[in-house]
């Protein structure tokens, strides 16, 4: 399959610039990027009408099936939200619920131009099934969670890794996911580190999300901050990705920098749960690979990387009262190329040889005019509804408001039925 995208404003995420040109996708790979119009035969020619052709977004932290829990416990304290609402409901979710929640998330990802996600939830067999049907790219985490007691963790880890045996690993890959320091014992984290080393797997964790987490870790572990504690366990010896990192000082950030760990900032979740504002400017100063995530819908409440980009930029500015501290082009790179790098995928940019994860963004709307600073518009003006086309791995999955592989009416019906069943289970 050979597709030509012609007459496009192509985003170069490395330079943070747009240029008018053409892109050829041959099967799953970008095979040509340039100003000259290729003269070959194509299966399809798409005239982009000077709209923006850019890499699909990488949502580097999500709990996708939580779409089922959208709006639950909103406007309550973090502890009421989590312990009286979210966890009791999660305990009622069946594997089928997880499957339909993942399917609903897929619809949102595709419509919003997200082509790659990092998944951390339960019932990974269902998540992998829904993702495999979707055509999206994903890294799926497994490990000790807040939900199920894994009596024999080593057995559980091996069994989870087995779920990936017959999966296309250019699209779906495993990682070892430790939910957090506060929900896992020292022994369990150590077992995960050993398992990850033995199987050459990357690691992920929620880290320094709240002040309470940092305080408790420091008190309980002889003054060690969460990053120092993890360093003592060898956690960062593996390729690692740390979500949130809201409450880190420069010494903590230095540890992550020293080990080439990546950070995923999740601004909507952090401000909605009143956790704080991540020190993105300080992370940039340490040259840490910063990525962006939505976190689960229960704490966001949408899977929208345009919203996250706006917040990463604006919260970084207001947190140190300096509007020049971060540029729109930096944020675009975080939401695309940096995410792909952190998750270990050869995608995230429009360049020859890269996997063809591409979206088309409409610039012919009032909020995108005038056109002389479209890079800025992408971060500060554009909306998810501006996404006209979403392609992952060379396959067009969403176009002009229509899903190619998904039955939206069935998914909506199923998630409404699930929520109806659960409605008496939360406050």
Q: Given the rule CB under 5 A, which residues bind Zn ion?
A: 295
CB closer to Zn ion out of 21 and 141 = 141
Minimal distance, residue 123 CB to Zn ion, in Å: 17
For β-strands 17-26 and 2-12, DSSP reports them as antiparallel
100 CB-side CA count, 13 A: 18
For β-strands 2-12 and 203-207, DSSP reports them as unpaired
Minimal distance, residue 171 CB to Zn ion, in Å: 22
CB closer to Zn ion out of 294 and 390 = 294
Minimal distance, residue 228 CB to Zn ion, in Å: 22
Minimal distance, residue 10 CB to Zn ion, in Å: 33
CB closer to Zn ion out of 295 and 406 = 295
Burial class (CB in 10 A: 0-12, 13-18, 19+), 183: middle
Minimal distance, residue 67 CB to Zn ion, in Å: 14
Minimal distance, residue 120 CB to Zn ion, in Å: 6
CB closer to Zn ion out of 100 and 177 = 177
Which residue has the CB atom at the shortest distance from Zn ion? 295
Minimal distance, residue 61 CB to Zn ion, in Å: 6
Cis, bond preceding 301 (omega within 30 deg of 0): yes
CB closer to Zn ion out of 60 and 379 = 60
CB closer to Zn ion out of 120 and 387 = 120
CB closer to Zn ion out of 295 and 357 = 295
């Amino acid at each position: 399959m050979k597709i030509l995208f012609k007459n496009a404003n192509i985003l170069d995420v490395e330079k943070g610039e747009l240029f008018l040109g053409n892109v050829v996708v041959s099967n799953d790979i970008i095979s040509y990027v340039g100003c000259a119009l290729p003269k070959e035969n194509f299966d399809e020619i798409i005239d982009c009408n000077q709209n923006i052709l850019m890499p699909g977004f990488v949502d580097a932290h999500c709990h996708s099936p939580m779409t089922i829990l959208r709006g639950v416990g909103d406007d309550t304290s973090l502890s009421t939200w989590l312990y009286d609402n979210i966890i009791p409901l999660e305990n009622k979710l069946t594997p089928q619920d997880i499957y339909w929640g993942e399917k609903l998330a897929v619809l949102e990802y595709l419509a919003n131009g997200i082509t790659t996600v990092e998944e951390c939830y339960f019932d990974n067999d269902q998540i992998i099934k829904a993702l495999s049907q979707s055509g999206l790219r994903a890294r799926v985490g497994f490990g000790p969670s807040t939900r199920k007691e894994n009596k024999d963790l080593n057995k559980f880890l091996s069994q989870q890794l087995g779920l990936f045996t017959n999966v296309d690993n250019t699209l779906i890959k495993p990682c070892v996911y430790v939910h957090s320091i506060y929900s896992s014992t020292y022994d369990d984290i150590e077992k995960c580190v050993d398992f990850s080393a033995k199987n050459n797997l990357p690691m992920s964790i929620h880290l320094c999300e709240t002040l309470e987490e940092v305080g408790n870790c420091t008190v309980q572990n002889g003054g060690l901050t969460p990053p120092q504690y993890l360093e003592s366990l060898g956690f960062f010896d593996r390729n690692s990705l740390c979500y949130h990192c809201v409450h880190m000082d420069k010494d903590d950030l230095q540890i992550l920098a020293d080990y080439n760990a990546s950070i995923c900032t999740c601004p909507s979740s952090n401000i909605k749960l009143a956790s704080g504002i991540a020190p993105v400017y300080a992370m940039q100063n340490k040259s840490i690979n910063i990525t962006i995530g939505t976190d689960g819908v229960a704490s966001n409440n949408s899977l929208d990387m345009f919203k996250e980009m706006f917040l990463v930029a604006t919260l970084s500015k207001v947190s140190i009262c300096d509007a020049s501290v971060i540029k729109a082009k930096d944020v675009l790179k975080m939401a695309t190329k940096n995410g792909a790098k952190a998750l270990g995928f050869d995608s995230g940019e429009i360049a020859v040889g890269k996997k063809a994860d591409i979206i088309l963004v409409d610039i012919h709307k009032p909020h995108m005019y005038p056109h002389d600073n479209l890079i800025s518009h992408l971060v500060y003006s554009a909306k998810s509804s501006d996404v006209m086309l979403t392609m992952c791995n060379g396959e067009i999955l969403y176009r002009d408001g229509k899903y190619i592989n998904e039955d939206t009416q069935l998914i909506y019906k199923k998630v409404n039925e699930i929520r109806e069943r659960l409605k008496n289970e939360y406050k």
